[in-house]
Amino acid sequence: MSRHEYSHRFRVKPGEKAHLSQRDTSDTVGIKTKKEGRTLLARNVAELERLQHLLYADGRHALLIVLQGMDAGGKDGTIRHVMSSVNPQGCRVTSFKQPTPHELKHDFLWRVHQATPALGEIGVFNRSHYEDVLIVRVRDIVPKRVWSKRYAHINNFEKLLTDSGVHILKFFLHISKEEQKQRFLRRQNDPSRNWKLSPSDANERALWDAYMAAYEDALTKCSTDYAPWFVIPSDKKWFRNLAISQIIADKMASLDLRFPEPTFDVSTITFD
């Protein structure tokens, strides 16, 4: 597969149903070994370092990366491996937890808007505004008449960001239920990973089918030309990292990033 075809293969096309059950969670698009995948990832990571430097200097664009997925899907691992080379000065990671009492007094997008990246920056959302059409729906935290309107609110919000120079890439880390179980068991059996477990993990897992239905609706209704969703096969962590790094690098390379021209004649400066 050509490196530029990842986005086409995994993108949820606007107007079409996401069909999560028909998407292979262990797909590697013909890449046969972890070694090959890691070699390609290293190339992409180096390219992201170069492109981020340009993005920061150029100052005309921003990039927002949204990561969603079931527990143990690999959101933290994706950030650690894919964004390993970027300069922290130009990149901010925001993890959205349960809203605080103060946040609940505002509209559901209020806290999210404050975390969006400024021009020249990369923002990464570990979970996001999509929780407000996922867990609130599955757990019946707010009534359907409330959360069902939020798809349109989200699309309008993301259009506002796009019109302001923020390019949006949204990734659903698609793992199988069996793979999630194996990851939970590894955490349970490894003392150095016990801290990653929570009693709620088993409770949320019991609602797997309800979450899949909620995700499928969110991806179907909110994948747009300006803010696409990508369903990334994530049973194999190395391929997850490779695919996401490739899509990000391709997007940044398409922005015609360049160093700004000086506003004065730099040759006139003298240094003693």
- Residue 125 belongs to a domain with what CATH number? 3.40.50.300
In a domain, 76, yes or no: yes
In a domain, 108, yes or no: yes
What mean pLDDT comes out for the span 58-77?
Answer: 97
What mean pLDDT comes out for the span 98-116?
Answer: 97
pLDDT greater than 60 at residue 3: no
What's the number of domains the chain is made of?
A: 1
Range of the domain at 148: 3-256
In a domain, 247, yes or no: yes
Q: How far apart are the first and last CA of the chain?
A: 56
In a domain, 264, yes or no: no
Residue-level pLDDT at 17: 97
In a domain, 265, yes or no: no
Residue 5 pLDDT level (bands cut at 50, 70, 90)? confident
The pTM assigned to this predicted structure is 0.96
Residue-level pLDDT at 248: 97
What's the rounded Cα separation, in Å, for the pair 155 and 53? 29
- Per-residue pLDDT tens digits for 190-226: 999 999 999 989 999 999 999 999 999 999 999 999 9
In a domain, 75, yes or no: yes
Scored b (16 or more CB within 10 A) or e, 157-191 reads bbeebbeebbbbbbbbbbbeeebbeebbeebeeee
In a domain, 261, yes or no: no
What mean pLDDT comes out for the span 151-163?
Answer: 98
In a domain, 268, yes or no: no
What mean pLDDT comes out for the span 74-90?
Answer: 96
What mean pLDDT comes out for the span 37-47?
Answer: 96
